[in-house]
A and B are shown apart, each in its own frame.
Chain A
Amino acid sequence: MKKHLLSVDDLTADDVHTLFTTAAEMHDVQRRQVKKLPALRGRTVINMFFEDSTRTRSSFEIAGKWLSADTINITGKGSSASKGESLRDTVLTVASMGVDALVVRHGASGACQQVAQWIDAVVINAGDGTHEHPTQALLDAYTLTRRLGTLEGKHVVIVGDLTHSRVFRSNVACLTMLGAEVTVVAPPTLMPSGVDAWSASAGFATTYDLDEVIDKADAVMMLRVQRERMSGGFFPTGREYTVGYGLTRDRLARLGPDVPICHPGPMNRGLEIAADAADAVQSAILEQVSAGVAIRMSVLYHLLAGEGAV
């Protein structure tokens, strides 16, 4: 495994399977009454969140604590530029305190990659702008693997605001690496630039028509659509979006009972996902959250404690 986890591209399929194996063990720990493992005792993990986050930050924090690492959260809203300090200075200041790993969330694409060039500590990308969110992709793939047995040959449909989604970018890389067939669905205004060339070379499919693919899905992943996108002219109204791209009650009825429904959260119930779909028996949304802790424990363990059994 590489030193940092900046992008899904840093991982091989073998790495991912190794991470899943460890995550399964960590998942068992989650069910114990006493959840602490000594693996990272004496190690310091700083969660540097330059952008708001509740679930990812608390997930990393719990993961670190259950592995006995000293975890500290540093949050700073807005870009470092607006504070007059360069990102490099901000990060070097924290790194100089003597940390073993920095978990970085930043509103700017590529920020984690830049940070990794400036410091010696391990850098884990907890979401950089509209670029990547690799631990989210790992927890999604882990959840789906547990539900479906394997991802090999399974058809995963990803729907929503692809342009602005780091979850989509990491997921399409991770799922295709694990052998899934991926179709991404969005209105043309929310398709990323150059997606035709990208999908051709990366081996995934695109469509503007959700109804054309929903019957053939082995799993569906709904992405959050921010209401602000309407003022940007990406689509006219929420109700029009829902009719075209929402997981409505009607579309839910067309999904088999074994087709898992994923959503990275936070959800806009009624916009991209109907309440009935979010709460359906096949919904995997809460499993994703618990898998998130296990996956992040696994990532911290492998990047900080090195290879070997727990």
Chain B
Amino acid sequence: MTEKTDPILIKGASLLGERTADVLVVDGVVAEIGTPDAAGARVVDADGLVLLPGLVDLHTHLREPGREDAETILTGSRAAAVGGYTAVLAMANTTPVTDTAEAAERVLDLGRQAGLVDVQPVGAVTKGLAGEELAEIGLMARSRAAVRVFSDDGKCVHNARVMRRALEYVKAFGGVVSQHAQDPDLAGPASCCHEGELSGRLGLPGWPGVAEEVIVARDVMLARHTGSRVHVAHASTAGTVEVLRWAKAQGIAVTAEVTPHHLLLTTDLLAGYDPTYKVNPPLRPAEDVEALREALADGTIDAVATDHAPHARHDKEHAFVDAAFGMLGLETALGVVATVMVESGRMGWGDLARVMSTRPAQIAGLADHGRPLAVGEPAHLTLVDPAAAVVVDRDSSVSLSRNNPWHGRSLSAAVHATLLRGVPTVLEGKLA
């Protein structure tokens, strides 16, 4: 699917932070790497910048249809592009739910109209996310949207029989079930604070790590039994990491993601009852954060996914237990991962590309994304300024929402440019 695009010469970039070269992009693909002769090409000065494959987000809430006051596919696409993303998976918990082929195609088409990132719909596992009857998984898979990732995110597929059937069913077309692991009997809808000393002191309903771990443990056994693939959304505890490590050692087809906020923010932020920090699963103690970092570095956790969850301001201005769950993430994800994992020396830029582009693209079955920086590959590219020091300002966000837990924090590294199929969507850190 190559289209005519103006030639662009990315000059002097460090490819994955490993070797410096010029990269010529023509007609949506990487045409040449090295010292290409590129007379007439538009030059992007990339001296001191790191070139990565375009980022892929396995877990985004774009809120359209239904809550266009919080985000739309267009504004969410803008936030994604500014964050260095070239593909995002749009979660199914919209109104109406993405549980039919028609709904999935509509999300796909609105994404194409916006034209800033590839918006790939996630299909619901069950009708209306009710957890009872399978949604039209096969029709969504066969639709123009070619849905491969199915999730009731926001709700756990709690019934073991339903989960088993879903895992079996998606095998027919190489699909995967992305599970929001939360046993509703152990962590109900009101549960909003990591269960521990702080929840005890604050009198907030506890959300114990075990409510996640028992579902992850059950699901890896179901994946083994069915010979199918399961993906763990927003892993948040050390116990989940232990189960994942064991399951992978057994050769079970399980993958997992962690959010930027679970890699950096800790439960003590809830002490002031600020709903900005209310998220599901909740922020955890430092021991869990450390286990997640280690698991991401050693590959036990495959990917970073944002769980970008925009909310209208008034939905966060309730008492803490009544306020909406979720926080923004698309624009800050790379900065957070660079700060926590790269600047600290735990990962290189190549590793960051693995967890934010290559593995997510593989898990989602996006053949066009997460490709190596090589001649002939689609030019989905992200240029990062590794030396930038950015103080996050929520008011400068291109998202429609402002529930930004990173406001006022300094992050190292910033997205300088993003190219989707050879076309700049972001230049100099701004929408092109």
Chain A contacts to B: CB under 8 angstroms: 79-81, 86-89, 106-111, 113-114, 128-132, 163, 166, 169, 192-195, 197-198
Instruction: Please indicate the chain A residues that have their CB under 8 angstroms from the CB of B319 in the complex.
Output: 79-81, 87, 106-111, 114, 129
Residue in contact with B197 in the complex, picked from A79, A86, A110, A193, CB distance below 8 Å: A193
Given A86-B317, A110-B273, A110-B320, A131 contacting B198 (CB threshold 8 A): no
A166, B204: Cα distance in complex, Å: 11
Given A193-B195, A197-B197, A109 contacting B273 (CB threshold 8 A): yes
Instruction: Please indicate the chain A residues that have their CB under 8 angstroms from the CB of B204 in the complex.
Output: 109-110, 129, 131
A194, B322: Cα distance in complex, Å: 23
Task: Tell me whether B84 is interfacial, beta carbon within 8 Å.
Answer: no
Instruction: Please indicate the chain A residues that have their CB under 8 angstroms from the CB of B315 in the complex.
Output: 86
A195, B208: Cα distance in complex, Å: 15
Q: How far is the CB of B315 from chain A (nearest CB, A)?
A: 8
Task: Tell me whether B196 is interfacial, beta carbon within 8 Å.
Answer: yes
With both beta carbons as reference points, the residue of chain B lying nearest to A164 in the complex is identified as: B203
With both beta carbons as reference points, the residue of chain A lying nearest to B208 in the complex is identified as: A193
Asked whether B317 lies within 8 Å of A110 as measured between CB atoms, the reply is no
Beta-carbon contacts under 8 Å, B202-226 to A: 202-204, 206, 208
With both beta carbons as reference points, the residue of chain B lying nearest to A163 in the complex is identified as: B200
Instruction: Please indicate the chain B residues that have their CB under 8 angstroms from the CB of A163 in the complex.
Output: 200
A158, B141: Cα distance in complex, Å: 60
Given A89-B314, A113-B272, A113-B273, A193 contacting B200 (CB threshold 8 A): yes
Chain B contacts to A: CB under 8 angstroms: 195-204, 206, 208, 272-273, 314-315, 317-323
Residue in contact with A194 in the complex, picked from B196, B318, B321, CB distance below 8 Å: B196
Known: A80-B318, A192-B201. 11 other contacts (CB 8 A): A79-B322, A81-B323, A86-B318, A109-B204, A109-B273, A109-B320, A110-B202, A169-B201, A194-B201, A197-B196, A197-B197
17 contacts between A and B (CB under 8 A): A79-B318, A79-B319, A81-B322, A86-B314, A86-B315, A87-B317, A88-B317, A89-B317, A109-B321, A110-B320, A129-B203, A131-B204, A132-B203, A169-B203, A193-B197, A194-B199, A197-B196
Asked whether A195 lies within 8 Å of B202 as measured between CB atoms, the reply is no
Q: How far is the CB of A223 from chain B (nearest CB, A)?
A: 14
Q: How far is the CB of A87 from chain B (nearest CB, A)?
A: 5
Instruction: Please indicate the chain B residues that have their CB under 8 angstroms from the CB of A86 in the complex.
Output: 314-315, 317-318
Asked whether B197 lies within 8 Å of A81 as measured between CB atoms, the reply is no
Residue in contact with A195 in the complex, picked from B200, B272, B273, B323, CB distance below 8 Å: B200
A114, B275: Cα distance in complex, Å: 9
Q: How far is the CB of A86 from chain B (nearest CB, A)?
A: 4
Asked whether A198 lies within 8 Å of B203 as measured between CB atoms, the reply is no
Asked whether B202 lies within 8 Å of A131 as measured between CB atoms, the reply is yes
Asked whether B318 lies within 8 Å of A193 as measured between CB atoms, the reply is no
Q: How far is the CB of A89 from chain B (nearest CB, A)?
A: 7
With both beta carbons as reference points, the residue of chain B lying nearest to A169 in the complex is identified as: B203
Asked whether A108 lies within 8 Å of B201 as measured between CB atoms, the reply is no
Most buried by A among B202, B204, B272, B314: B202
Q: How far is the CB of A43 from chain B (nearest CB, A)?
A: 27
Most buried by B among A86, A131, A198: A86
With both beta carbons as reference points, the residue of chain A lying nearest to B195 in the complex is identified as: A193
Instruction: Please indicate the chain B residues that have their CB under 8 angstroms from the CB of A80 in the complex.
Output: 318-319, 322
Given A86-B314, A87-B317, A193 contacting B206 (CB threshold 8 A): yes
Residue in contact with A108 in the complex, picked from B198, B199, B272, B322, CB distance below 8 Å: B322
Asked whether A193 lies within 8 Å of B320 as measured between CB atoms, the reply is no
Asked whether B197 lies within 8 Å of A108 as measured between CB atoms, the reply is no
Most buried by A among B203, B273, B319, B322: B319
Instruction: Please indicate the chain A residues that have their CB under 8 angstroms from the CB of B197 in the complex.
Output: 193-195, 197-198
A80, B319: Cα distance in complex, Å: 8
A114, B278: Cα distance in complex, Å: 14
A114, B319: Cα distance in complex, Å: 7
Instruction: Please indicate the chain A residues that have their CB under 8 angstroms from the CB of B203 in the complex.
Output: 109-110, 128-132, 166, 169, 192
Instruction: Please indicate the chain B residues that have their CB under 8 angstroms from the CB of A128 in the complex.
Output: 203
With both beta carbons as reference points, the residue of chain A lying nearest to B199 in the complex is identified as: A193
A67, B201: Cα distance in complex, Å: 34
With both beta carbons as reference points, the residue of chain A lying nearest to B273 in the complex is identified as: A110
With both beta carbons as reference points, the residue of chain B lying nearest to A198 in the complex is identified as: B197
A86, B313: Cα distance in complex, Å: 10
